[in-house]
């Protein structure tokens, strides 16, 4: 790995929507409130770009101009999350004069290739490529910016766009629409086609489309959040010894996992899992590897459950209609579990696949069934080392993010404050494949890498 990385901030600016952008205030819905518990989402898009002069003199101004134009349609990203004292409900507020902080930095040219690879890299180095979101606290409220951006230029090699945004403002579906609008606007400006964003349908800010079942869920979740005794934000873990790596699963790998699970079910004379989608297969393999890299075996673990948590899209699962352009969160939390000894047995993959598949099918039938327990369940998960949380979705095509100089070379998502978190994205180069991003201690990463590769070999 690169021995060091130097980041020098050379420019800091405020990007505001055009002056005619109307103010907006959005109360949080019952699907937004649980995200008050989480620290910002952090993503990095790496792009090859060898022309340093063009990058600094032309491309960065295009990025600034196009972001300002895009924010006219997505003004809440320019605003703040206001969390007053009880009993006033939190809300997202954009007022004239609000802005997105953008930093421009320069870094070592040699660092780009290593940081944009699938290989191990220090989490601390990745964190230097994303901005902080300051949280000023007054006597009566906390005000947190929705979004911040950092452009880092690697001399003669490339650039990265690092983003920190509050998930309480929007889910990945919404954020993806915003990012692609920004990217297409930037590309059009360079091609001298359009000076303003071209979007097929403007975002829907109508909170009335989100119907609270029995009118109780929002109040229940708000009370749980207000009554918490620990910090609002997720517990930050020491990242000094953590490394992040990306592991690839091809469509053939996923098919082999499926074949193995079906074969094991036949040997045990058991029915196969009710769902064997690519998502279930990838999650099952990673869950088993993470359990084993703890150093346990089925013979030496106590009889207690291990939990697996993930995010499930809500637009197609809710009993009411939500527009595809809805701005905000429309995702549900899912948590399933299995006994540690069962997961570590020789049929652990079957156990994992059955548990994950059943929970997804339960969410298909009644997505809000366990919603009153979302906050307590995810707090419990974040406090345990044997629990796993999945962020990201391979259905969100992030590698189509073209600002005018092609697809990203690499995308990294950083999740170091939620226990053991993995990130699933679609593969850049393997059609139908997946990228599995994970951050672990150096010792556990070595174990995980070995287990992952051994299991892949056994599938052949």
Q: What are phi and psi of 212, to 5 degrees?
A: -75, 120
Pairwise CA distance, residues 108 & 106, whole Å: 7
| Cβ–Cβ < 8 Å for 314, 31 | yes
User: Is there a single domain that holds both residue 56 and residue 85?
Assistant: yes
In the chain, pLDDT over 70 holds for what percent of residues?
A: 90
Q: Is residue 336 a part of any domain in this protein?
A: yes
User: Is there a single domain that holds both residue 102 and residue 199?
Assistant: yes
Pairwise CA distance, residues 147 & 167, whole Å: 10
Pairwise CA distance, residues 381 & 335, whole Å: 9
pLDDT at 296: 62
User: Is there a single domain that holds both residue 389 and residue 315?
Assistant: yes
Position 1 confidence tier, pLDDT thresholds 50, 70, 90: very low
Question: Between residues 187 and 420, which one has the greater pLDDT?
Answer: 187
Q: Is the predicted pLDDT of residue 230 greater than 60, yes or no?
A: no
User: Is there a single domain that holds both residue 117 and residue 249?
Assistant: no
User: Is there a single domain that holds both residue 392 and residue 431?
Assistant: yes
Q: Which of 53-57, 180-184, 289-293 has the lowest mean pLDDT?
A: 53-57
CATH number at residue 347: 3.30.559.10
Q: Is residue 274 a part of any domain in this protein?
A: yes
- Owner of token pair 């992040």: 244
Instruction: Please name the residues in contact with 373: beta carbons below 8 A apart, sequence gap of 6 or more.
Output: none
Q: Is residue 231 a part of any domain in this protein?
A: no
| Cβ–Cβ < 8 Å for 147, 78 | yes
Q: What are phi and psi of 378, to 5 degrees?
A: -75, -30
Q: Specify burial of residue 216 (Cβ count, 10 A radius: 0-12, 13-18, 19+).
A: exposed
User: Is there a single domain that holds both residue 180 and residue 262?
Assistant: no
- Of 37, 50, 18, give the one whose Cα is nearest residue 417: 37
Of 196, 226, 256, the residue that ends a domain is 226
Q: Is the predicted pLDDT of residue 435 greater than 90, yes or no?
A: yes
In the chain, pLDDT over 90 holds for what percent of residues?
A: 63
Task: Please provide the size of the chain in residues.
Answer: 460
Position 233 confidence tier, pLDDT thresholds 50, 70, 90: very low
Pairing of strands 147-154, 100-107: parallel
Pairing of strands 91-94, 24-27: antiparallel
What average pLDDT does this structure show over 31-45?
91
Q: Is residue 234 a part of any domain in this protein?
A: no
User: Is there a single domain that holds both residue 108 and residue 145?
Assistant: yes
Q: How many CB atoms lie within 10 A of CB 74?
A: 29
Instruction: Work out how many domains the chain is built from and give that number.
Output: 2
- Whole-number mean pLDDT of the chain? 88
Q: Is the predicted pLDDT of residue 308 greater than 90, yes or no?
A: yes
Question: Between residues 2 and 313, which one has the greater pLDDT?
Answer: 313
pLDDT at 178: 96
Known catalytic residues are: 167, 402
What average pLDDT does this structure show over 216-227?
90
Q: Specify burial of residue 15 (Cβ count, 10 A radius: 0-12, 13-18, 19+).
A: buried
Of 170, 202, 226, the residue that ends a domain is 226
Position 232 confidence tier, pLDDT thresholds 50, 70, 90: very low
Q: Is residue 233 a part of any domain in this protein?
A: no
Question: Between residues 155 and 147, which one has the greater pLDDT?
Answer: 147
pLDDT at 392: 83
Instruction: Please name the residues in contact with 94: beta carbons below 8 A apart, sequence gap of 6 or more.
Output: 17, 21, 23, 24, 25, 75, 76, 78, 79, 80
User: Is there a single domain that holds both residue 137 and residue 219?
Assistant: yes
Question: Between residues 233 and 460, which one has the greater pLDDT?
Answer: 460
- Of 361, 327, 354, give the one whose Cα is nearest residue 76: 327
pTM exceeds cut of 0.85: yes
- Determine the angle formed by the axes of helices 217-226 and 374-382, rounding to 10 degrees: 40
Local structure of 12: helix, strand or coil: strand
User: Is there a single domain that holds both residue 189 and residue 148?
Assistant: yes
Tens of pLDDT along 354-409?
Answer: 999 999 999 999 999 999 999 888 877 776 666 888 988 888 888 999 999 999 99
Tens of pLDDT along 50-97?
Answer: 777 777 788 999 999 999 999 999 999 999 999 877 888 899 999 999
User: Is there a single domain that holds both residue 212 and residue 246?
Assistant: no
User: Is there a single domain that holds both residue 217 and residue 247?
Assistant: no
Pairwise CA distance, residues 333 & 368, whole Å: 9
Q: Is residue 282 a part of any domain in this protein?
A: yes
Pairwise CA distance, residues 139 & 11, whole Å: 32
| Cβ–Cβ < 8 Å for 24, 327 | no
Q: Specify burial of residue 269 (Cβ count, 10 A radius: 0-12, 13-18, 19+).
A: exposed
User: Is there a single domain that holds both residue 213 and residue 252?
Assistant: no
pLDDT at 109: 67
Of 226, 250, 278, the residue that ends a domain is 226
| Cβ–Cβ < 8 Å for 170, 328 | yes
Question: Between residues 456 and 276, which one has the greater pLDDT?
Answer: 276
Q: Is residue 2 a part of any domain in this protein?
A: no
Position 419 confidence tier, pLDDT thresholds 50, 70, 90: low
Q: Which residues of 190-214 are buried (b: 16+ CB within 10 A; e: fewer)?
A: eeeeeeebebeeebebeeebbebee
What average pLDDT does this structure show over 410-426?
81
Pairwise CA distance, residues 243 & 264, whole Å: 34
Query: Residue 68 corresponds to which tokens in the numbers above?
Result: 């300002």
What average pLDDT does this structure show over 215-224?
91
What average pLDDT does this structure show over 162-183?
95
Domain limits at 288?
242-459
Spatial strand order in the sheet of 80-84: 24-27, 91-94, 80-84, 141-145
Instruction: Please name the residues in contact with 48: beta carbons below 8 A apart, sequence gap of 6 or more.
Output: 157, 158, 405, 406, 409
């Amino acid at each position: 790995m690169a021995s060091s990385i130097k980041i020098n901030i050379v420019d800091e600016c405020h990007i505001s929507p055009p002056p005619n952008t109307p103010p907006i205030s959005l109360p949080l819905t019952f699907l937004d409130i649980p995200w008050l518990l989480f620290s910002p989402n952090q993503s990095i898009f790496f792009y090859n770009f060898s022309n340093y002069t063009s990058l600094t003199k032309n491309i960065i101004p295009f990025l600034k101009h196009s972001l300002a134009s895009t924010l006219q349609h997505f003004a809440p990203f320019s605003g703040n999350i206001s969390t007053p004292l009880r009993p006033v409900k939190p809300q997202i507020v954009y007022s004239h004069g609000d802005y997105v902080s953008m930093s421009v930095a320069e870094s070592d040219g040699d660092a780009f290739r290593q940081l944009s690879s699938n290989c191990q890299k220090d989490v601390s180095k990745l964190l230097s490529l994303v901005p902080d979101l300051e949280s000023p606290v007054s006597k009566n409220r906390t005000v947190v910016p929705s979004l911040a951006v950092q452009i880092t230029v690697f001399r003669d090699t490339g650039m990265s766009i690092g983003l920190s945004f509050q998930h309480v403002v929007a889910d990945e579906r919404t954020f993806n629409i915003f990012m692609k609008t920004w990217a297409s606007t930037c590309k059009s400006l360079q091609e001298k086609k359009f000076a303003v964003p071209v979007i097929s349908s403007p975002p829907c800010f109508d909170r009335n489309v989100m119907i609270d079942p029995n009118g109780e869920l929002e109040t229940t979740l708000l009370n749980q959040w207000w009554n918490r005794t620990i910090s609002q934000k997720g517990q930050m873990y020491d990242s000094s010894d953590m490394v992040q790596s990306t592991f690839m699963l091809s469509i053939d790998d996923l098919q082999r996992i499926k074949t193995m699970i079906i074969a094991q079910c036949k040997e045990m004379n058991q029915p196969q899992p009710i769902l064997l989608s690519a998502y279930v297969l990838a999650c099952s393999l990673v869950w088993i590897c993470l359990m084993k890299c703890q150093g346990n075996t089925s013979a030496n673990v106590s009889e207690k459950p291990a939990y697996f948590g993930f995010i499930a899209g809500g637009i197609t699962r809710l009993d009411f209609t939500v527009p595809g352009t809805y701005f905000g969160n429309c995702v549900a939390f899912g948590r399933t579990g299995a006994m540690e000894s069962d997961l570590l047995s020789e049929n652990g993959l079957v156990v994992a696949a059955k548990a994950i598949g059943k929970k997804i099918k339960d969410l298909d039938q009644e997505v809000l069934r366990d919603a009153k327990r979302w906050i307590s369940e995810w707090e419990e998960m974040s406090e345990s080392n044997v629990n796993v949380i999945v962020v990201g979705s391979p259905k969100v095509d992030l590698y189509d993010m073209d600002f005018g100089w092609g697809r990203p070379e690499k995308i990294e998502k950083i999740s170091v404050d939620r226990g053991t978190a993995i990130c699933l994205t679609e593969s850049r180069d393997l059609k139908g494949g997946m990228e599995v991003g994970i951050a672990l201690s150096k010792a556990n990463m070595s174990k995980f890498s070995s287990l992952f590769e051994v299991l892949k070999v056994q599938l052949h």
